[in-house]
Amino acid sequence: MQPTDLIWMNGDFVAWENAKVLVLTHGLHYGTGVFEGVRCYDTELGPAVFRNADHVERLLRSAELYYMPVPYSAEQIRAATLELVARNGLRSCYIRPIVFRGYGQMGLNPLDCNVDVTIACWEWATYLGEEGKANGIRAKVSSWRRIGPDSLIPQAKASGQYLNSVLAKVESMKAGYQEAILLDDHGYVCEGTGENVYLVREGEIVTPGQSNSILDGITRRSVIQIARDLGYTVSERNVGRAELYLADEVFLSGTAAELVPVVEIDDHPIGGYREWLDVVVPRDLETPAGDVSERRITGATG
Ligand code: PPE
């Protein structure tokens, strides 16, 4: 990680190396924090933060779900983010706001604990590697299920919840894959450890829906909107595990990862079955002559 000059901390810009917390910080012990990942891109208009308002809104909603009153308004957090990027002299970067229960009280009741807010940013190029972004990654369906709505809050982007992603990520990497895909508590496809997932089959784009325990990704909203604007059908529905294997394409989306193709899942090459069909059922044996319509007739009448 390449340090930048400043981190915004509870209303002040402090030097990167001074943006510290005490080891007795509540969020460190119990995971009582909520955060965002946001990206700033170098555009023709200068550095521009992608969907800043949506990220801040999700941050504040996540905080509310965990009973954390945030001592700054959405407007203040948006403005602090823009000023931080400018003061660090960055043109494109990853931005990490976090709201967490601070130092003062121990024990499971967090309600008397301070709520601290910090924002950091740094240059974070590719999340799943240059090679993975360009040519696709190999993924494994995790033996760990995605956190369910009866024990945690899948809609919240909360620090403690990421232990679930950490287990799945480590399992997949130790098994030689680059990413894990988690199933939801009903066994339907949910998402990656830090990305939403999509499949493409016969031109239709399919992605798990809100009731599949996904994080409502902001990149996902853009993917769906852009795809629909381009005339694609996008369905949000339950996705069975093997639908991934049978897809023509699978891809992931997230702020850190951006868009990444998945070329193999559980050692099934994605889209590969088409090639396999061509080899196993050579069309020429069925249809020795004629155009496509004649071939069908020939095949049907024997
Ligand atoms: N699901 C999960 C579990 C998730 O963490 C992310 C973002 C997404 C889906 C995609 O959401 P969005 O970024 O709004 O499109 N993961 C963030 C954290 C990654 C990390 O390693 O830290 C991110 O991409 O910033």
By annotation, the residues acting in catalysis are: 157
Nearest CA to ligand 1 atom 11: 217
Q: What is the pLDDT of residue 125?
A: 86
Nearest CA to ligand 1 atom 19: 194
Averaged pLDDT in 10-residue chunks for the chain of 302 residues:
96 98 98 98 96 98 98 98 98 98 96 97 92 95 98 98 98 98 98 98 96 98 98 98 97 97 96 60 54 47 36
Q: What is the pLDDT of residue 126?
A: 87
Rg for the chain (alpha carbons), in Å? 23
From 155, 207, 215, give the residue whose CB has the most ligand 1 atoms within 8 Å, as the site to mutate.
Answer: 215
